[in-house]
């Protein structure tokens, strides 16, 4: 299933995408629910972030190609993004006036489907994953690593609009060998397979759930590959994961 949240007639709904249409879901999309028989054209609705996460966790330094001269991490290295940074497909990434360099970071994002605490076995982690979506861990480099960097990455990673996800959650997906491609104005900026992740999705969930209870709708950005590139107002950035889809966002400067 391709799970979406969408706006229609001033109301927000969950839905299942089929072809070029969406069927409304009633009930709990993370539990018992029904899917309507009628189809509404996608062109008539606005797609929203496919879930509303209570927690947004991201994994640092999880591709060898992104390490540069840094050593490989000895363990999974999570950090937090705030839920308020999350936006959906076609929503603008807004660059604050004083931000300096801001990079796009295309990533595979895991979506938690069931309450999860201290999962000890790799094979058990799949019971807690609803599916996967595309994400862009937008990152302000001066605030993150510059001479006057912040103590924490609170605004570098969590400024408003710095967490696009979408366009939907694909519930049946193999995260072990799929390409993650980031394009800026149609030009490829990142392109790598998830088989090159240092820590796999099950390893990430085991490590995080050891200390933090994960709830339905929580999301985990699994890491970004290669060398990232800066964004500027007027750009259009796309994160493309075959089988899931394309997350597209325009870039604007702060008014």
**Cα–Cα distances in Å, from 252 out to 28, 155, 178, 227, 232?**
35, 17, 30, 22, 7
> What's the rounded mean pLDDT across residues 3-25?
97
31 and 142 belong to one structural domain: no
**Cα–Cα distances in Å, from 225 out to 35, 61, 122, 179, 222?**
37, 9, 23, 10, 10
Structural domain count of the chain? 2
177 and 191 belong to one structural domain: yes
- What tokens does 40 get? 């509404």
42 and 61 belong to one structural domain: no
Tens-place pLDDT, residues 168-193: 999 999 999 999 999 999 999 999 99
Neighbouring residues of 90: CB distance < 8 A, sequence distance ≥ 6: 46, 47, 248, 249, 250
- What tokens does 101 get? 């360099």
195 and 78 belong to one structural domain: yes
pLDDT of 202 reads 98
pLDDT of 13 reads 97
pLDDT of 69 reads 83
44 and 55 belong to one structural domain: no
**DSSP H or E run through 202:** helix 201-209
72 and 188 belong to one structural domain: yes
223 and 199 belong to one structural domain: yes
Q: Mapping DSSP to helix (H, G, I), strand (E, B) and coil, where does residue 239 land? A: strand
Q: Where are the alpha helices (DSSP H) in 5-87?
A: none
Residue 70 has pLDDT above 90, yes or no: no
> What's the rounded mean pLDDT across residues 106-131?
97
34 lies in which domain range? Answer: 1-48
18 and 97 belong to one structural domain: no
User: Across all residues in the chain, what is the average pLDDT?
Assistant: 97
> What's the rounded mean pLDDT across residues 33-39?
94
Q: What is the pTM of this model?
A: 0.97
pLDDT of 68 reads 82
238 and 124 belong to one structural domain: yes
> What's the rounded mean pLDDT across residues 230-255?
97
55 and 15 belong to one structural domain: no
pLDDT cut 90: percent of the chain above it: 97
At 37, which CATH number?
2.30.30.370
10 and 70 belong to one structural domain: no
Tens-place pLDDT, residues 129-155: 999 999 999 999 999 999 999 999 999
228 and 216 belong to one structural domain: yes
* Radius of gyration of the CA atoms of the chain, in A: 18
Of 48, 67, 87, the residue that ends a domain is: 48
At 78, which CATH number?
3.90.850.10
Which residues does residue 47 pair with via DSSP β-bridges, in sequence order? 6
């Amino acid at each position: 299933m391709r799970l979406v949240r969408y706006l229609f007639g001033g109301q927000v709904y969950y839905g299942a995408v089929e072809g070029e249409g969406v069927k409304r879901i009633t009930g709990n999309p993370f539990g018992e629910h029904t899917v309507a028989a009628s189809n509404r054209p996608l062109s008539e609705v606005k797609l929203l972030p496919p879930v509303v996460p209570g927690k947004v966790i991201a994994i640092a330094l999880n591709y060898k190609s992104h390490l540069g001269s840094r050593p490989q991490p000895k363990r999974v290295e999570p950090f937090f993004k705030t839920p308020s940074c999350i936006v959906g497909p076609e929503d603008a990434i807004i660059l604050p006036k004083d931000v300096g360099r801001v990079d796009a970071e295309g990533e595979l994002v895991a979506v938690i489907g069931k309450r999860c605490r201290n999962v000890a076995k790799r094979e058990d982690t799949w019971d807690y994953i609803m599916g996967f979506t595309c994400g862009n861990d937008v990152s302000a480099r001066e605030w993150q690593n510059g001479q006057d960097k912040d103590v924490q990455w609170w605004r570098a990673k969590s400024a408003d609009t710095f967490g696009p996800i979408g366009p939907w959650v694909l519930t049946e997906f193999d995260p072990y060998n799929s390409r993650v491609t980031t394009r800026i104005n149609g030009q490829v900026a990142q392109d790598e397979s998830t088989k090159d992740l240092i820590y796999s999705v099950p390893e990430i969930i085991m490590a995080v759930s050891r200390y933090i209870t994960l709830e339905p709708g929580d999301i985990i950005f699994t890491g970004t590959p290669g060398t990232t590139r800066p964004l500027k107002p007027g750009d259009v950035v796309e994160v493309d994961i075959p089988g899931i889809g394309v997350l597209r966002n325009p870039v604007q400067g702060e008014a």
